[in-house]
């Protein structure tokens, strides 16, 4: 995890109250309040009591057990090497901030908690991001509380910044709200520090990846307008290129919809003309570079994330994605989930 720490009396007091079998603990707080460190403390205290512990990490940008843009689960029966820890299961969100992605964040946390419970863990700790300010953040955190229904909700706050989030849960059974001040050793981290940490997690995850070719016909797309419809044939591509007055590399037809890939950005006016000319209800046009370096999640036939991958290249003549992914995962991929996050570090 992110550095060494020392517990204090408040942490020990809270731990005595909340660490017991079948408990789910949700920890929330703003940035730089020591949430992740406190979660580590709870995990180690639970292990010391002989419990099997599930750690769910929902901090998308500063993940400690998985790559950025994911929600990870680690099942622990003994103290880990926190510098070497890797997730046992992942949910791919596809972006490094929860803002604008609330539904995926709530879904992913619920699925990872359910996976931990099915795995037979005794005690579940859920870490979260520092996204707590603004209406979207308040709504997201409240929905997480409602859908997880933790036995204990730990709020680490400086001066009441979480009150709007938790006010409605103070007297609601079975949630028990606990308030903590940030550890005195908590320090503010610069945006540069956070970026470098995120890059280190990316490089660590992709240090054991391979380059794999995934043919278009082998998978379907999710969270994208591509790889979900009927591919245009060569003649259709010629006609579309003439209408667009630029080369159309790839196209897919849906029900009164069309998704195009062009060499360069297609002007809005040309898109409007195409939409009208072809009587379409929706048209999407992206340049080829839209795909490159994009994070994607590879999903198998069971619906599980088998790898996070990076699109290294797209060959629209061979109809193939070239991916950087975990070994032996591309061949098992049935769905490719597209994210918004792009990587600039991994070569």
Cα 71 to Cα 59: distance, rounded to the nearest angstrom = 7
Q: What is the DSSP string of 235-252?
A: HHHHHHHHHHTS-EEEEE
Q: Does residue 347 register a pLDDT over 80?
A: no
pLDDT digits (tens, 9 = 90+) for 281-340: 999 999 999 999 999 999 999 999 999 999 999 999 999 999 999 999 999 999 999 999
Cα 139 to Cα 161: distance, rounded to the nearest angstrom = 14
Q: Does residue 1 register a pLDDT over 60?
A: no
What average pLDDT is seen over the chain? 93
Query: Which of the residue ranges 108-117, 158-167, 233-242 would you say has the lowest mean pLDDT?
Result: 158-167
The neighbour count for residue 101, using CB atoms within 10 Å, is 21
**Adjacency order of strands within the sheet including 210-215:** 210-215, 320-325, 305-315, 294-299, 335-342, 220-222
Cα 46 to Cα 78: distance, rounded to the nearest angstrom = 10
pLDDT digits (tens, 9 = 90+) for 144-156: 999 999 999 999 9
Cα 124 to Cα 110: distance, rounded to the nearest angstrom = 12
Please report the pLDDT score of residue 344 as a whole number: 62
**Against a cut of 0.85, is the pTM above it?**
yes
Residues with Cβ < 8 Å from 93, sequence gap 6 or more? 60, 69, 70, 71, 101, 104, 105, 108, 339
Location of structure tokens 């606990």:
178
Please report the pLDDT score of residue 343 as a whole number: 73
Helix, strand, or coil here: 172?
coil
Q: What percentage of the chain reaches a pLDDT higher than 90?
A: 85
pLDDT digits (tens, 9 = 90+) for 7-17: 788 999 999 99
Q: Are strands 70-76 and 320-325 parallel, antiparallel or unpaired?
A: unpaired
Contact 141, 58 (CB under 8 A): no
Q: Does residue 171 register a pLDDT over 90?
A: no
| Alpha-helical runs (H) found in 64-129 | 102-118
- Report, as an integer, the average pLDDT of 110-118: 97
Please report the pLDDT score of residue 3 as a whole number: 44
Helix, strand, or coil here: 110?
helix
């Amino acid at each position: 995890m992110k550095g060494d720490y020392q517990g204090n009396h408040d942490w020990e007091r809270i731990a005595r109250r909340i660490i017991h079998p079948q408990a789910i603990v949700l920890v929330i707080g703003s940035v730089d309040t020591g949430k992740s460190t406190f979660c580590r403390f709870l995990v180690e205290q639970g292990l010391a009591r002989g419990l099997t512990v599930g750690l769910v990490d929902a901090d998308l940008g500063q993940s400690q057990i998985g790559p950025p843009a994911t929600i990870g689960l680690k099942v622990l029966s003994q103290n880990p090497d926190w510098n070497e820890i890797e997730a046992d299961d992942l949910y791919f969100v596809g972006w490094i901030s929860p803002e604008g992605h609330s539904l995926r964040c709530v879904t992913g946390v619920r699925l990872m908690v359910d996976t931990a419970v099915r795995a037979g863990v005794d005690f579940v700790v859920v870490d979260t991001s520092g996204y707590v300010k603004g209406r979207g953040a308040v709504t997201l955190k409240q929905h997480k509380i409602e859908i997880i229904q933790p036995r204990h909700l730990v709020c680490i706050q400086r001066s009441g910044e979480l009150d709007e989030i938790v006010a409605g849960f103070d007297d609601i059974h079975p949630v028990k709200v606990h308030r903590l001040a940030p550890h005195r050793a908590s320090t503010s981290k610069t945006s540069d520090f956070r970026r470098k940490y995120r890059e280190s997690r990316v490089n660590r995850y992709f240090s054991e990846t391979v380059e794999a070719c995934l043919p278009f016909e082998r998978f379907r797309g999710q969270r994208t307008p591509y790889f979900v419809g009927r591919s245009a044939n060569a003649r259709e591509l010629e006609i579309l290129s003439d209408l667009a007055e630029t080369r159309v590399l790839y196209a897919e037809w849906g029900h009164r919809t069309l998704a195009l890939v062009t060499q360069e950005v297609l002007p809005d006016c040309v898109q409007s003309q195409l939409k009208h000319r072809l009587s379409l209800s929706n048209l999407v046009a992206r340049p080829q570079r839209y795909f490159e370096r994009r994070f994607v999640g590879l999903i198998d036939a069971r619906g599980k994330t088998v790898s996070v991958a990076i699109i290294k290249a797209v060959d629209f003549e061979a109809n193939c994605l070239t991916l950087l992914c975990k070994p032996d995962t591309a061949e098992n991929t049935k769905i490719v989930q597209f994210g918004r996050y792009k990587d600039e570090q991994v070569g």
